[in-house]
Structure formats: structure tokens, C-alpha cells
């Protein structure tokens, strides 16, 4: 079938990146309507991956990809089973709706094209993450989601709060990513495989290894930071500084679920141990409670929803770690339900903000008649979030209670945690869906009316999908839930829950939850005040801790900088050259292998002697030059002499390059020297002069001796013979030097040109910084005129 | 430095050198030359123009920001490496096609694309530095 062709899947996976490239151009041409075209990219992904659903529903695992660097076992390969397919469908499906929503929400924004680009990059990174089969690819995409979310959260970069939130998210999730990398390396070391598809059958090797705990903790560090588990939850609500479409996407389908994805993915391998079944539920449960309590306190619609995302992620982690098959089914159902209702509710919050001008729930009311479509979408999503029929959230919540309910104390604790968490989420869901819409009409900053189709299409669609998925639950389970649960559990699972309530403990617990929720809802203002008082009494939290951590690091780096970078160029130069001299002399002294005295060639040709003479004249000119420009140009003479030597001895390529490098070096040095404020005459004391002289003599003689000893070694022709023999056959080129650069060692060259570019950027910014301070860097062209020290 | 003679000759010299740099770039696979050296020649051509006529005309003449040229070159180099994925061979493997244009067989390759990328990176980075340094009077 066509869906299995690796080329097609690869192109489909690259589609968001390609769309990101053309997005700014398209937006310039079409304005916000470019959203319709750009949404085609995620739509194409959605349709392409639907093609896999038949195989995946049969519990097959589809793999494919390309080998990239076989020598390092690096490949671009994907693994598509129930878990990754569900994630792909959520990301691309919700992604398409979010693209449309962004078009409506940021209509007329001057940087809309850039925003579309960032969104598509983010989507591409997330898709790559969930389909990755190889560790390295997983890690690369993992960090790419951190970087792209940094760009998105800080999109409104003129605001201090945005920049701080973006930096915070990057530090926390990027740092977690490094822990993940270490964890993956440990796993690689234990098992010797780099493919997830192979790893999934090696679970026992890993669990019995003495390094299991280390690998587990490192992987959890990555997953917990990404999925905002307590106490690393603080970056997520701060990320609300991003425009609402970002929040909707971030929370429903993408980055914050990446950690949950990873835990689910590795459950068959790392799970089923005491550590796993203790750490995950404890942290998840704590996060659930902390998240909901903090959510109650908020009055901003987005922040209320953000904190419930924290708690939902906690619930997911708790269920993933709980260890029973029911718990895994519950996690799967809840994940899907959460994506649908949270995406919808965020878009509703943005809609209200966009149309009414405020997101503060205490300043909103009576919007029901003004915004009927929004109201319907919000109600549906809230019912799903509250876990009531006939929406998908109901199935998820029932399954949660099925999974947790038992009479042993461990289960009882988590049942209680789930009741409190679910009850409070019920409160928040309805606070978002009822408070702005019911009650007397409140005067809002903007005159509220229904938003354009681009804005309400997304939330309405998601709500309808949540309804249909629940009503057609056997079909949903067959296509989505069961394959995904099987992938997470590592053994075939069948999810059976339907909308018809079963008389029993789960139903009773649901009723308790609803009663608890309604009670809190009625007393919401008092609850908010109470939590506020507690928080003020504590007066400290991870968010402040983060600031202190960052300022501590900054202070540490300033202290270190003061020691290693005193800001005196002559100190740097002396240290550098002394180290070079030591490095040159030490090996020769240690092994006692001094070069023998070179003999003067008896058959020296005239032109060789001429080159030698030129070099000597140049040297003399450098030493006796009165001003710097002359010295620099004379120094160039040495380089030209060497280039001539290369040419005489049959290396035209090298000599060519040497000529150019030497010319440019002279030009750039001359330009630099004329910029510096330097005194005309030499102010060094005799002592300084002696030190400088000995250092330069040591370096000069060191290089001389070193080169002599290199040339006195017997020549090993292995490489040159290899390249001479193969450059024509393999690389179709006769210029061996160039063939090595662009073909045999192309990847090296790629790294080198990256270095060239980064160096260029660094030099450029150094020049800019210097001219940024005070007035122009140099007032006078004349290098020999003494300037007042700044 | 800005004598009348230098100023009059510099544009011609620069265009000749740029032309030569492209020649050197394209023949690099079989004769002495290639992207790196071609890029250096082009950068010195631009530096000459800058020294003779000032920085602003150079910036106008190259239209793009030199760092942008450099970045585009890096992208090109990377793309040339990634192309190999479509052929199912490891990263950076050279791919060759020989289209027949007006009866002449032309050898095109991903290696050439890569070399052009190197050229652009070098031109961009070096001339960016040189221009920024020359701009001292007006920043």
C-alpha cells in the first residue's frame, strides 16, 4: 500500500517544515487567509497517517526509514503503532484547526507570517518526536520542540514577561532534555540498541541491569520537566504569555504531552518495577492536587485552564505508573479526552478574550446570547472535562475509577486523590463554560459578538468529535483506544467501556465526584480566598525559586569571569602563547626526540633561494617597521613566500588558498588595527619587553623545531595513495584536495562552514557591541594618534 | 586610499574577480579551485570595492545582508547532504546526474550544490566581517 512507501512518509513528515519555509511569503500575499492553505499541511499528514490505521488496528507495528550514518548506527526511522498513531492524529488534526484559529486570532498582526512559521516548525518537531524510532532522532526532535516553543512563548518579544516565560520554559524543558539524552545513552549502553522497536522486546535486560535506576531517573527527569510535573510545573502556566493559539496547541496536543508520550512509550521497557510504580503515581498524584488547587485560585481563563493542564498531566503520569491494565486504558482514554476538551476550551478562552476584550472571569457574564456558537462549544467541552455523559471525558473518568478502586490502602489513597482532582477539574471546567455566559450581562471592554468562522470552527469541531467518539465508542476503541493501550502495555489490550453506566463502585465514585464538584463550585469565591491566604502564608514557590536559581548562576558566572577574564588583552596573549610554547616543547623534551640539525641543500635551485631571500627580507621588514600598517603588510610577505613554496613543490591548490588567505588576513588585520585606540610609541617597561621577547622566542623556536621534527619523520603514503586511487572512481573528480573537502569528508566540511558562519556572526556582534557603547568606536582614523583611554 | 585611479578601476576589478571566483568555484572538482578558495576571491573582490568606493555601495550592490548569504550557503550545504536520503544512501553521499543539454553532457551533482554552499558561506562571513570593520566612520 502507498502509505507504507518510506519516501512518501518521509516527505509527509517534512511537510510542516516546508510549509514553515513558505509561510511568511504566503502570508504577505494572502494575509490571514493564508491559514486556509497552510492548514492543508497538517491535514495532509492526518490523511496520510489515517492510511496506517487499518494495520495499526490489527496491532501491527509499521516501521520504516532510512539509514543515515550506518557507522554510528544513526538512522531516520519511524515506528507507528497505536500510541504514535494516536498522537500523530491528535497533533495533525488539532494542528490543522489551530492553524485556522491562528489566522482568525492574529488577523492583521504584523508578524503573522512568522507566527505561522513557528507554529508549523513546532508541529513538525512534535510529529517527528512521536514517530521516531531511533533514540537520536527522538532526542533531536525533543529538543527541537523546546526550541520552537521558546520561539512561540516569546513571540511577543517586546514584553519582558514573555521573554522571561520563554527563557524559563527553555531552561526547564531543555535541561530536562539533556537528562533524557543521558538516560537514553545509559539505555543504549545497557541494551546495545538504538531503535525503540528493538528496545521494546529487551525490557528484561534493562530492568535487571544495575544501572536501571540511573536510566529511569534520567529519563524521568526529561519526561517530568517536559510534562510539567510538580515541582517543575511552574513554567507551564507562565507559558500563557504566548498568544492563545499557541497555548491551545501546546496544551491539547503537543509539547506538554511529550513527557507523557515518553513514559507511555517506555512503559513496556522501564515499567512494572517497584520504582516505576512508586515514583510515577506519587509525583503524578501530587501534581494533580497541586495543579487543581492552584487553578481554583485563578480568575484569568487561560491560567485556570493552564493549571488544570498541569493536573491532567499529573493524572496521566499517575495512571501510567499505577501498573494495572485498567489504569493504562484509563490513561489512554483520558489523554484523548483531554486533548479534545482542553484544545476546545483554550480556543474558547481566546475567543472570549478576542471578542469581549478580557479574560478575567469576574469581569465577564451574560455572553450566551451574544456568542451562541462559542457557548455551545464551551458547554460541550466543559461537560467532557467534568466527566459527564454523553462526551468522551465521561468514558475516561469512569475508566479511571475502574482502574483505581480497590480496598488496599495504596489504591484508596489514589482513589481519593482522583476524586479531589476530578472534582476540582469539574469546577474549573464549568467555571470557564458557565461564568462568562450566564448571569446578567456585564459591560465588557469590547462589545461582544460572535467571532468569525476561523475562530469558532476549531472549538466546535473538537467538541463534536468528543461527542461522536463517545457515542460510537466501540468503533473508537477498535481504531484508537485498544491499539494505543496495547502499545503502552506491551501486551494486547481491549478497551470496552461505553456510555451506558455500569452500576457499581465506579458509578458511585462518579456521583461523589460530581457532588463534591458542585459544592465547591457554589463556594468558589470562598475557596479561592482560602487558597490565596495559604499561598500568601507560604510566600515562596518554585517560580520564585527559579528566579533565585538563575540569578545565582549569573552571579557565579560573573565571579568566574572575573577570575578567568580580567579584561586585559596582554594577559590573555601571554597566557595563550606560554601555553602554546609549553605544548610545543613538552612532548619533545619528554620523549627526548629533538630534531636533528637540518642540512643546507647542496642542490638548491636559484628560485628556491629567491623565495628564502624574500622571506628573510619580509622578516627584517616586520622587525624594523616603524608603524603597524607596514609591519602587517611585511608579515604578509612571509605568507606569500610560503605560498610560493607550495606552488614550486606541486601544490597549486594550497598555494592558491594561501595567497587568498594571506591577502585577506592583511586586509582584515589592517582594518582591525586602524580601529583600535593604540598609543604611538612603545610604553612597555624593560621588564615587560624582556618577558614578551622570551615568550615570542620560545614560541618561534618551538614551532620551528616542531616543523623540523615533523618533516624528518618518514612519510606515510597510505592516505595519499588511497585518495589518488579512489577520487576519480568514487567521487568523479580529479582534484584530490577538493574531492576530499566536498565528498570524502563532506560532513566535516559542513561542520567547518558552520564554524565559519558562527565566527562571522560572533565577530559581527563583537564589533556592534563595541560601537554600541558610547559613541563611535574610534573617532580618528589615524592609528598613530594617541587617544584618551576610555 | 581613495585615489581617482583606484576608484575608477575598482568596479571593473571587482566584477572581474567575482567572475573569476565563480570560474574557480565551478572547475574546483577537477582543477585547482573550489568553493572555499572561490569564496575567498569573491570576498576580497568585495573588500577591494569597499575600500575604493565605501561600504554603502557594496551593501547596495550585494542587496542581501552578507550574513544572510552565509546562512543561505549553510542551508544549501545541509540540503545537499540531506538529498541523499531520497536515494536511500547515507548522509552526504554524492549524487550525480548527467543531463544532456544542447548535445553537451553536463555533470551535475549534489557535491556541486554543496560546494556552492561553501562558497556562499565563505563570501558571506568574510565580507560581513570586512564590511563591518570598514564601516567604522559611520557607525
- The arithmetic mean of pLDDT across residues A213-235, rounded, is 85
Which among B43, B96, B129 has the least Cβ separation from residue A732? B96
Confidence grade of residue A680 (pLDDT, cut at 50, 70, 90):
low
Q: Which three cell numbers stand for residue A515?
A: 457532588
- What are A196-210's pLDDT values in tens digits? 888 888 878 888 888
Instruction: Compute the distance between CA of residue A517 and CA of residue A430 in angstroms, rounded to an integer.
Output: 10
- The arithmetic mean of pLDDT across residues A723-737, rounded, is 80
Instruction: Compute the distance between CA of residue A624 and CA of residue A628 in angstroms, rounded to an integer.
Output: 11
**Range of the structural domain that residue B64 is part of:** 4-138
Query: Is the CB of A653 inside 8 Å of chain B's CB atoms?
Result: yes
- The arithmetic mean of pLDDT across residues A92-120, rounded, is 87
Instruction: Compute the distance between CA of residue A320 and CA of residue A333 in angstroms, rounded to an integer.
Output: 12
- What are A9-43's pLDDT values in tens digits? 888 888 889 888 888 888 888 888 888 888 889 99
- The arithmetic mean of pLDDT across residues A74-80, rounded, is 83
Query: Is the CB of A725 inside 8 Å of chain B's CB atoms?
Result: no
Residues in chain A: 790
Give the pLDDT score at A789.
Answer: 36
H helix runs in A154-300, sequence order: 160-191, 196-199, 203-207, 212-226, 235-238, 244-252, 255-270, 274-297
Q: Which of A33-42, A465-474, A726-735 has the lowest mean pLDDT?
A: A726-735
- In this predicted structure, the answer to whether residue A581 has a pLDDT above a threshold of 90 is yes
A246-283 burial, b if ≥16 CB within 10 A, otherwise e? bbbbbbbbbbbbbbbbbbbbbbbbbbebebbbebbbbb
Q: Which three cell numbers stand for residue A759?
A: 565566527
Q: Do B73 and A757 touch (CB under 8 A)?
A: yes
Question: Is the overall model pTM greater than 0.80, yes or no?
Answer: no
CA distance B131 to chain A (A): 10
Q: Judging by beta carbons within 10 Å of its beta carbon (0-12, 13-18, 19+), is residue A60 exposed, middle or buried?
A: middle
Neighbours of A307 (CB within 10 A): 27
Give the pLDDT score at A545.
Answer: 81
Are the C-beta atoms of A321 and A272 separated by less than 8 Å?
Answer: no
Give the pLDDT score at A23.
Answer: 87
- The arithmetic mean of pLDDT across residues A339-344, rounded, is 87
CA distance A74 to chain B (A): 10
Three-state secondary structure readout of A382-434: HHHHHCCCCCHHHHHHHHHHHHHCCCCHHHHHHHHHHHHHHHHHHHHHHHHHH
- A354, HSE (Cβ side, Cα atoms, 13 Å): 24
Q: Do B71 and A731 touch (CB under 8 A)?
A: no
Give the pLDDT score at A398.
Answer: 83
SS3 (DSSP) at A67 = strand
- What are A251-288's pLDDT values in tens digits? 776 777 888 888 888 888 888 888 888 888 889 888 88
Share of chain A above pLDDT 70, in %: 96
Instruction: Compute the distance between CA of residue A490 and CA of residue A329 in angstroms, rounded to an integer.
Output: 12
Q: What is the mean pLDDT of chain B?
A: 85
Are the C-beta atoms of A653 and A738 separated by less than 8 Å?
Answer: yes
Instruction: Compute the distance between CA of residue A594 and CA of residue A40 in angstroms, rounded to an integer.
Output: 70
Q: Do A667 and B44 touch (CB under 8 A)?
A: yes
- The arithmetic mean of pLDDT across residues A235-245, rounded, is 81
Give the pLDDT score at A546.
Answer: 82
Instruction: Compute the distance between CA of residue A256 and CA of residue A247 in angstroms, rounded to an integer.
Output: 10
A310-344 burial, b if ≥16 CB within 10 A, otherwise e? bbbbbbbbbbbbbbbbbbbbbbbbbbbbbbbbbbb
Q: Do A674 and B124 touch (CB under 8 A)?
A: no
Are the C-beta atoms of A103 and A454 separated by less than 8 Å?
Answer: yes
Of the candidates B132, B40, B22, the one whose C-alpha atom is nearest the C-alpha of residue A662 is B40
The overall longest dimension of chain B from CA atoms, in Å, is 58
Q: Which three cell numbers stand for residue A113?
A: 507570517
Q: Do A757 and B136 touch (CB under 8 A)?
A: no
Q: Which three cell numbers stand for residue B61?
A: 550592490
Are the C-beta atoms of A239 and A164 separated by less than 8 Å?
Answer: no
Give the pLDDT score at A63.
Answer: 83
- In this predicted structure, the answer to whether residue A486 has a pLDDT above a threshold of 90 is no
- What are A387-415's pLDDT values in tens digits? 887 888 888 888 888 888 877 888 888 88
- Name the residue ranges covered by the structural domains of chain A: 320-522
Q: Which contacts (CB < 8 Å, 24+ apart) does range A368-374 have?
A: A368/A437, A368/A438, A370/A448, A370/A449, A370/A450, A371/A437, A371/A448, A371/A449, A371/A450, A371/A451, A372/A450, A373/A450, A373/A456, A373/A460, A374/A348, A374/A450, A374/A451, A374/A456, A374/A459
Give the pLDDT score at A5.
Answer: 64
**Which residues of B fall within a CB distance of 8 Å from A737?**
32, 34
**Which residues of A fall within a CB distance of 8 Å from B111?**
731, 733, 742-743, 746
Are the C-beta atoms of A644 and A614 separated by less than 8 Å?
Answer: yes
ipTM, 2 dp:
0.91
CA distance B95 to chain A (A): 9
- The arithmetic mean of pLDDT across residues A374-394, rounded, is 85
Q: Do A735 and B29 touch (CB under 8 A)?
A: yes
- In this predicted structure, the answer to whether residue A786 has a pLDDT above a threshold of 50 is no
Which among B121, B130, B136 has the least Cβ separation from residue A756? B121
- What are A127-181's pLDDT values in tens digits? 999 988 888 888 989 999 888 888 888 888 888 888 888 888 888 888 888 999 9
Are the C-beta atoms of A177 and A139 separated by less than 8 Å?
Answer: yes
Share of chain B above pLDDT 90, in %: 33
Which among A7, A657, A735 has the least Cβ separation from residue B31? A735
- What are B8-25's pLDDT values in tens digits? 999 999 999 999 999 988
Instruction: Compute the distance between CA of residue B113 and CA of residue B81 in angstroms, rounded to an integer.
Output: 9
Residues in chain B: 139
For residues A617 and A774, which has the higher predicted lDDT (pLDDT)? A617
SS3 (DSSP) at A212 = helix
Confidence grade of residue B102 (pLDDT, cut at 50, 70, 90):
confident
- Cα distance between the two ends of chain A: 73
Sign of CA dihedral B4, B5, B8, B11: negative
Give the pLDDT score at A743.
Answer: 82
Beta-bridge partner residues of A65: A77
- In this predicted structure, the answer to whether residue A500 has a pLDDT above a threshold of 80 is no
SS3 (DSSP) at A240 = helix
Of the candidates A601, A486, A663, A541, the one whose C-alpha atom is nearest the C-alpha of residue A290 is A541
- The arithmetic mean of pLDDT across residues A472-486, rounded, is 84
**Which residues of B fall within a CB distance of 8 Å from A731?**
94, 111
Give the pLDDT score at B13.
Answer: 92
Which among B29, B74, B88 has the least Cβ separation from residue A753? B74
Give the pLDDT score at A784.
Answer: 39
Helix-then-strand count for chain A, H and E: 34, 2
- The arithmetic mean of pLDDT across residues A233-250, rounded, is 81
Share of chain A above pLDDT 90, in %: 6
Instruction: Compute the distance between CA of residue A377 and CA of residue A413 in angstroms, rounded to an integer.
Output: 35
In this structure, what are the phi and psi dihedrals at residue A450, rounded to the nearest 5 degrees?
A: -60, 140
Three-state secondary structure readout of A478-507: HHHHHHHHHHHHCCCCCCCCCCCCCCCHHH
Which among B47, B91, B94 has the least Cβ separation from residue A743? B94
- The arithmetic mean of pLDDT across residues A668-679, rounded, is 76
Helix (H) or strand (E) holding A239: none
Q: What is the mean pLDDT of chain A?
A: 83
Are the C-beta atoms of A565 and A187 separated by less than 8 Å?
Answer: no
Give the pLDDT score at A771.
Answer: 58
Q: Do B34 and A675 touch (CB under 8 A)?
A: no
Amino acid at each position: 500500500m502507498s502509505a507504507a512507501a518510506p519516501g512518501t512518509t518521509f516527505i509527509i513528515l517534512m511537510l510542516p517544515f516546508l510549509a514553515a519555509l513558505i509561510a511568511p511569503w504566503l502570508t504577505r500575499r494572502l494575509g490571514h487567509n493564508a491559514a486556509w492553505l497552510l492548514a492543508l499541511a497538517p491535514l495532509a499528514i492526518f490523511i496520510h497517517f489515517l492510511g496506517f490505521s487499518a494495520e495499526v488496528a490489527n496491532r501491527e507495528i509499521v516501521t520504516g526509514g532510512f539509514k543515515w550514518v550506518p557507522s554510528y548506527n544513526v538512522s531516520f526511522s519511524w515506528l507507528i503503532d497505536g500510541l504514535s498513531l494516536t498522537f500523530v492524529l491528535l497533533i495533525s488534526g488539532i494542528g490543522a484547526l489551530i492553524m485556522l484559529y491562528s489566522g482568525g486570532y492574529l488577523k492583521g498582526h504584523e508578524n503573522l507570517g512568522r507566527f505561522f512559521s513557528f507554529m508549523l516548525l513546532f508541529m513538525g518537531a512534535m510529529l517527528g518526536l512521536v514517530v521516531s524510532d531511533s533514540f537520536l532522532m527522538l532526542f533531536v526532535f525533543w529538543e527541537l520542540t523546546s526550541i520552537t516553543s521558546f520561539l512561540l512563548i516569546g513571540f511577543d518579544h517586546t514584553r519582558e514577561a514573555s521573554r522571561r516565560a520563554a527563557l524559563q520554559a527553555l531552561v526547564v524543558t531543555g535541561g530536562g532534555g539533556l537528562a533524557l539524552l543521558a538516560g537514553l545513552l545509559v539505555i543504549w549502553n545497557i541494551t546495545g540498541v538504538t531503535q525503540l522497536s528493538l528496545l521494546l522486546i529487551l525490557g528484561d535486560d534493562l530492568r535487571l541491569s544495575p544501572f536501571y535506576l540511573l536510566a529511569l531517573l534520567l529519563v524521568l527527569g526529561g519526561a517530568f520537566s517536559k510534562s510539567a510535573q510538580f515541582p517543575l510545573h511552574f513554567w507551564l502556566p507562565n507559558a500563557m504569555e504566548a498568544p492563545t493559539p499557541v497555548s491551545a496547541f501546546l496544551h491539547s496536543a503537543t509539547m506538554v504531552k511529550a513527557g507523557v508520550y515518553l513514559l507511555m512509550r517506555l512503559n513496556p521497557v522501564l515499567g512494572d518495577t517497584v520504582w516505576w510504580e512508586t515514583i510515577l503515581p506519587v509525583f503524578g498524584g501530587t501534581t494533580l492536587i497541586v495543579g487543581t488547587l492552584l487553578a481554583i485560585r485563578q480568575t484569568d481563563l487561560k491560567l485556570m485552564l493552564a493549571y488544570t493542564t498541569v493536573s491532567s498531566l499529573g493524572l496521566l503520569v499517575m495512571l501510567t505508573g499505577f501498573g494495572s491494565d485498567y489504569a493504562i486504558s484509563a490513561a489512554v482514554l483520558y489523554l484523548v479526552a483531554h486533548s479534545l476538551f482542553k484544545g476546545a476550551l483554550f480556543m474558547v478562552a481566546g475567543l472570549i478574550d478576542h471578542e469581549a476584550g478580557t479574560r478575567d472571569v469576574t469581569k465577564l457574564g451574560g455572553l450566551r446570547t451574544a456568542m451562541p456558537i462559542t457557548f455551545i462549544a464551551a458547554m460541550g467541552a466543559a461537560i467532557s472535562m467534568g466527566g459527564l455523559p454523553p462526551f468522551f471525558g465521561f468514558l475516561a473518568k469512569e475508566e479511571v475509577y475502574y482502574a483505581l478502586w480497590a480496598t488496599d490502602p495504596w489504591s484508596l489513597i489514589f482513589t481519593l486523590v482522583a476524586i479531589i482532582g476530578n472534582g476540582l477539574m469539574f469546577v474549573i471546567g464549568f467555571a470557564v463554560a458557565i461564568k462568562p455566559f450566564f448571569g446578567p450581562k456585564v459591560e465588557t471592554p469590547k462589545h461582544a459578538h460572535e467571532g468569525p468562522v476561523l475562530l469558532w470552527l476549531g472549538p466546535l469541531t473538537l467538541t463534536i468529535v468528543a461527542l461522536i467518539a463517545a457515542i460510537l465508542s466501540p468503533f473508537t476503541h477498535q481504531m484508537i483506544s485498544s491499539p494505543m493501550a496495547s502499545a503502552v502495555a506491551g501486551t494486547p489490550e481491549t478497551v470496552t467501556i461505553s456510555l451506558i453506566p455500569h452500576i457499581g463502585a465506579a458509578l458511585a465514585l462518579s456521583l461523589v465526584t460530581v457532588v463534591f464538584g458542585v459544592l465547591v463550585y457554589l463556594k468558589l469565591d470562598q475557596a479561592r480566598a482560602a487558597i490565596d491566604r495559604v499561598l500568601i502564608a507560604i510566600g515562596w514557590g518554585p517560580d520564585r525559586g527559579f528566579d533565585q536559581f538563575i540569578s545565582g548562576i549569573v552571579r557565579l558566572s560573573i565571579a568566574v569571569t572575573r577570575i578567568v577574564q580580567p579584561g586585559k588583552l596582554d594577559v590573555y596573549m601571554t597566557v595563550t602563547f606560554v601555553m602554546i610554547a609549553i605544548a610545543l616543547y613538552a612532548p619533545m623534551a619528554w620523549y627526548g626526540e629533538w630534531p636533528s640539525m637540518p642540512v643546507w641543500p647542496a642542490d638548491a635551485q636559484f628560485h628556491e633561494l629567491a623565495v628564502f631571500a624574500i622571506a628573510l627580507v619580509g622578516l627584517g621588514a616586520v622587525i624594523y617597521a616603524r608603524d603597524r600598517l607596514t609591519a602587517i603588510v611585511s608579515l604578509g610577505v612571509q605568507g606569500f613566500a610560503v605560498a610560493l613554496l607550495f606552488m614550486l613543490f606541486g601544490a597549486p591548490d594550497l598555494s592558491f588558498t594561501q595567497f587568498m588567505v594571506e591577502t585577506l588576513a592583511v586586509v582584515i588585520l589592517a582594518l582591525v588595527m586602524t580601529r583600535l585606540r593604540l598609543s604611538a610609541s612603545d610604553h612597555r617597561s624593560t621588564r615587560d619587553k624582556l618577558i614578551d621577547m622570551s615568550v615570542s622566542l620560545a614560541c618561534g623556536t618551538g614551532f620551528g623545531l616542531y616543523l623540523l621534527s615533523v618533516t624528518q619523520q618518514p612519510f606515510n603514503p597510505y592516505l595519499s595513495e588511497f585518495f589518488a586511487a579512489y577520487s576519480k572512481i568514487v567521487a568523479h573528480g580529479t582534484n584530490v584536495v577538493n574531492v576530499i573537502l566536498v565528498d570524502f569528508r563532506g560532513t566535516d566540511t559542513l561542520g567547518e562552514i558552520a564554524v565559519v558562519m558562527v565566527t562571522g556572526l560572533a565577530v559581527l556582534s563583537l564589533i556592534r557591541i563595541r560601537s554600541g557603547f558610547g559613541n563611535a568606536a574610534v573617532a580618528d582614523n589615524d592609528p598613530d594618534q594617541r587617544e584618551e583611554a576610555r | 586610499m581613495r585615489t581617482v585611479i583606484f576608484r575608477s578601476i575598482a568596479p571593473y576589478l571587482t566584477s572581474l574577480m567575482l567572475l573569476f571566483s565563480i570560474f574557480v568555484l565551478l572547475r574546483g572538482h577537477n582543477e585547482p579551485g573550489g568553493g572555499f578558495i572561490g569564496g575567498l576571491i569573491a570576498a576580497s573582490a568585495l573588500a577591494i570595492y569597499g575600500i575604493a568606493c565605501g561600504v554603502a555601495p557594496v551593501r547596495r550592490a550585494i542587496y542581501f545582508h552578507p550574513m544572510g548569504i552565509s546562512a543561505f550557503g549553510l542551508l544549501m550545504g545541509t540540503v545537499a547532504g540531506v538529498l541523499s536520503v531520497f536515494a536511500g544512501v547515507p548522509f552526504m553521499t554524492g549524487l550525480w546526474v548527467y543531463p544532456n543539454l544542447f548535445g553537451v553532457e553536463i555533470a551535475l551533482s549534489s557535491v556541486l550544490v554543496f560546494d556552492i554552499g561553501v562558497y556562499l558561506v565563505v563570501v558571506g562571513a568574510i565580507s560581513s566581517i570586512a564590511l563591518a570593520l570598514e564601516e567604522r566612520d559611520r557607525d
